Amino acid sequence: MPGALSLVVALALLAGLAGCDKKSDAGTAAKEAKPRPGGVLRVGVTRVGSLDPAQARTVEQLLVADQLFDSLTTPHPVTLEPKPALASRWEASVDQRQWDFFLRPGAVFANGRPVTSADVKYTLERIVRPQTASPAADLLQPVTGYAALQNGSAPELAGVTTPSPEQVHVALDMPLSVLAEILSSPVFGVVPKEAVEAVPPAPAFGEQPVGSGPFQFASTKGDVVSLTPVKGRTAYVQRLDFRQFDDVAASYRAFAAGDVDWSRVPPDEVAAAGARYGDKAFRPYLAELFYGFNLKSPKFADPRFREAIVHAIDRDAIAKAVYGSTVLAMNGLVVTGVPGHVDRACAATCAHDVARARALVAEVFAGQPPPEVFLDYDEDETQTAVAKAIQAGLKDAGVSATLRAKPLKDYQAFAVSGQQELFRLGWIGAYPSADAFLPPVFATGSPSNLTGFSVPAVDQAFAAARAEPDAGKRLGLYQDAERQILALTPVIPIAQFQLHSVVADGVHRLTPTAAGTFDASVVWLSRRG
């Protein structure tokens, strides 16, 4: 999601996501029996639209893209660390500005043509070109030549070269130690130029793509998109059917009726689904909700007043009363499940403590009434309830707050106008790394930094992390940056969203990840159909 609207547009994509952090036991049954081939895995999804990975934005689109296409790397299903996919290995220079990816021997597209470094270069250039309008374009900004390709002054991405058919070289204008994590997103699935640019009567690529992943497009019949295993790739099921529905509730009803084998669960059915089917497929999602302070407003100039507001809000109570405990109350900025997450990272600053809030207000304003605060948010029933809970908490602390709701389409523009005060934001990490949750939102000058937060020491910590080749040291630098940000209270963490899904009996090794996808090539069925 490029540009300043990234934080705001995420709000619309987060609707209906909720749940609790549970450890998967989806593979338990698989250990008790030998996997056997055959059968049709029926997956319930909301309508996916395009099958082009460069256009994947929703959970469902990313899930389908992950089966049809391979990126250079892929997240480990448990640790989320990058592991080989199309690239069998990669290496970076000490300064993290020169990267080489080496393609897996024998990698082919679904049409049998070998995947080469030229295909990777074409894929990355296509994502950067503005006419593609890919949500992943801004993730490639550090690549040398990005601006020139974007503005049309250069025909190619100068920083991506092909020393050999098996080797891709990526040159960066700045250190980026998390490049392998970034490229693990299904949005970077490698595509063949001849299929993308084929002209009629050839089918449109977004409707009948030629992929690089373990499954290939077979057919679309009505609401069912069918995939079959690619010859030479390992997969147990003989067919993968994505059955499309108008909404998650309809997909879940089909699951309950036995018509699909996997489905997301609508928020109002989460408790019942957990009791009936178990919670082995409930996962934290790479998405968070918070309220941000417009730091350009003189009302919020004193960090003690911002801290008072945070102490006044009972975030745990909001999670329980508004969401029915289907979200996790956030206690930091890096979500649960992502490497670098720290439990209760803002325990002291974020603790609900009305007495402390009142004391800080009195200290800042020397006994005078504090200024009225406007709570800005996109209008819907759930978010109105959240805003009212925040309003009540501020009242207890002696701070008057006025609700200022706007329809989502109007709120998107208002939230970047500079006129917002204490305003609702959503953020979805584009890749499973602390880097996806910190620099985009808090680095000076970032298009998605809507609070106006700017602290040189934090920027320096980001730069040091992106230049650090050692993963452990890098996480330490991100954690230090997170502590510094939280101490200055530019935002109020509210909740981490969740993905609730259910898996039918007889389906083995279907393990959803925090990124919202799963690897269907390892799934096997002990029932046929």
Range of the domain at 182: 50-216
Q: Which helix (H) or strand (E) holds 102?
A: strand 98-103
Select from 348, 322, 357, 371 the least CA-distant residue to 494.
322
Q: How far apart are CA 216 and CA 292, in angstroms?
A: 43
DSSP code, position 371: P
Position 393 in a domain = no
The helix/strand/coil state of 374 is strand
**Amino acid, single-letter form, for residue 146:** Y
Inter-residue contact 81 to 475 (CB < 8 Å): no
What's the pLDDT at 349?
A: 87
Report how far apart, in Å, the C-alpha atoms of 391 and of each of 205, 216, 372, 500 are: 49, 52, 11, 30
The pTM assigned to this predicted structure is: 0.91
Q: Which helix (H) or strand (E) holds 388?
A: helix 381-396
Position 446 in a domain = no
Position 76 in a domain = yes
Structure tokens at 521: 């090539």
Position 35 in a domain = no
Position 522 in a domain = no
Mean pLDDT of the chain: 92
Position 143 in a domain = yes
Select from 165, 11, 136 the least CA-distant residue to 71.
136
Maximum distance among all Cα pairs of the chain, rounded to whole angstroms:
76
Select from 305, 303, 309 the least CA-distant residue to 290.
309
**Cross-strand bridge partners of residue 292:** 423, 491
Residue 183, Cα to own-chain centre: how many angstroms?
A: 13
Position 62 in a domain = yes
- Per-residue model confidence as pLDDT tens for the chain (529 residues): 444 445 554 655 565 554 333 333 344 444 557 899 999 999 999 999 999 999 999 999 999 999 999 999 999 988 889 999 999 999 999 999 999 999 999 999 999 999 999 999 999 999 999 999 999 999 999 999 999 999 999 999 999 999 999 999 999 999 999 999 999 999 999 999 999 999 999 999 999 999 999 999 999 999 999 999 999 999 999 999 999 999 999 999 999 999 999 999 998 899 999 999 998 899 899 999 999 999 999 999 999 999 999 999 999 899 889 988 688 888 899 999 899 999 989 888 889 999 999 999 999 999 899 999 999 999 999 999 999 999 999 999 999 999 999 999 999 999 999 999 999 999 999 999 999 999 999 999 998 999 999 999 999 999 999 999 999 999 999 999 999 999 999 999 999 999 999 999 999 999 998 888 999 999 999 975 5
The helix/strand/coil state of 217 is strand
Phi first, then psi, for residue 334 (nearest 5°) are -100, 125
**Cross-strand bridge partners of residue 521:** none
Position 295 in a domain = no
Please write the tens of the pLDDT for every residue from 239-276: 999 999 999 999 999 999 999 999 999 988 999 999 99
Q: Buried (b) or exposed (e) across 250-259, using 16+ Cβ within 10 A?
A: bbbbbbeeee
Q: Buried (b) or exposed (e) across 315-346, using 16+ Cβ within 10 A?
A: beebbeebbebbbbbbbbbbbbbbbbbbeebb
Residue 201: cis peptide before it, omega within 30 degrees of 0? yes
Half-sphere CA count of 438, side-chain side, radius 13 A: 32
Number of structural domains the chain divides into = 1
Residue reference for tokens 């990267």: 99
Structure tokens at 330: 């956030």
What CATH number is given to the structural domain containing 58? 3.90.76.10
- The total number of residues shown for the chain amounts to 529
